[in-house]
Amino acid sequence: MASEITYAEVKFKNVSPAAVAEAPPEKKKHENHPQKYPLCLPWLISLLLFLVCIALIIAFLEESWTCCPKGWRHFQEKCYYLSNDLMSWAESEQNCTGMGSHLVVINSKAEQDFLFEELHKYSLRGVNYYIGLRAQEVGQWHWLDGTPLSETAAFWRAGEPSNVDPEKCVVIHTREMSQNNWNDVSCSNHCRICQAEAVTV
């Protein structure tokens, strides 16, 4: 006996007839956002810091200092020794030469002012201090290196030089309270000022 086939229509509430099973949503691919700085930036910063360090090292190595022997006074690129003992002009020059220096040659008002201050700053023994100026002939003043005295860098006391035969050497007279304190004197025993180049290290 043949069996009957029964058909039934099933309806679901709230489901559209065209409902189709949806596949799970695909994961979005990560978008390639542009970087806010180039990949080489850290390398460039490191290089810059390295170059700054090199520049600082070079600057430190190239920096130099000028210095003078103990007991000497420093001014600009020179060193000055103010003695406390007495010698003739010739002995004074020999003594300075023995220390690698010479009697001072004063080339500017700034240098004269410096020596004036130094001689008045300390309680030194001497009244007169030889400088490297003298006359072979009366009134013909020359420095040790042979250069004639420049009138623009001459600091004579009032009424000096005397320009007389017994007085052919020049001193700084410390009891003169003006920067114009040179005096021509006999070349007998006085203190001295030696001058040398400052050592650069």
The answer to the question of residue 183 being in a domain is yes
Q: Looking at residue 94, what is its pLDDT?
A: 97
Distances (CA, A) of 60 to 46, 57, 65, 199: 21, 5, 11, 18
pLDDT in tens, 24-35: 555 555 555 555
The answer to the question of residue 154 being in a domain is yes
Here the CATH number for the domain that contains residue 84 is 3.10.100.10
pLDDT in tens, 140-183: 999 998 889 998 899 999 999 999 999 999 999 999 889 999 99
Q: Would you say residue 15 has pLDDT above 70?
A: no
Q: Looking at residue 195, what is its pLDDT?
A: 97
Q: Is the peptide bond before 42 cis (omega within 30 degrees of 0)?
A: no
Q: Would you say residue 38 has pLDDT above 90?
A: no
Number of domains comprising the chain: 1
Q: Would you say residue 14 has pLDDT above 90?
A: no
The answer to the question of residue 43 being in a domain is no
CB distance 81 to 197 below 8 Å: no
pLDDT in tens, 54-67: 877 776 665 668 78
Share of the chain above pLDDT 90, in %: 57
Which residue segment(s) compose the domain that 149 sits in? Answer: 66-200
The answer to the question of residue 195 being in a domain is yes
The answer to the question of residue 167 being in a domain is yes
The answer to the question of residue 191 being in a domain is yes
Q: Looking at residue 22, what is its pLDDT?
A: 54
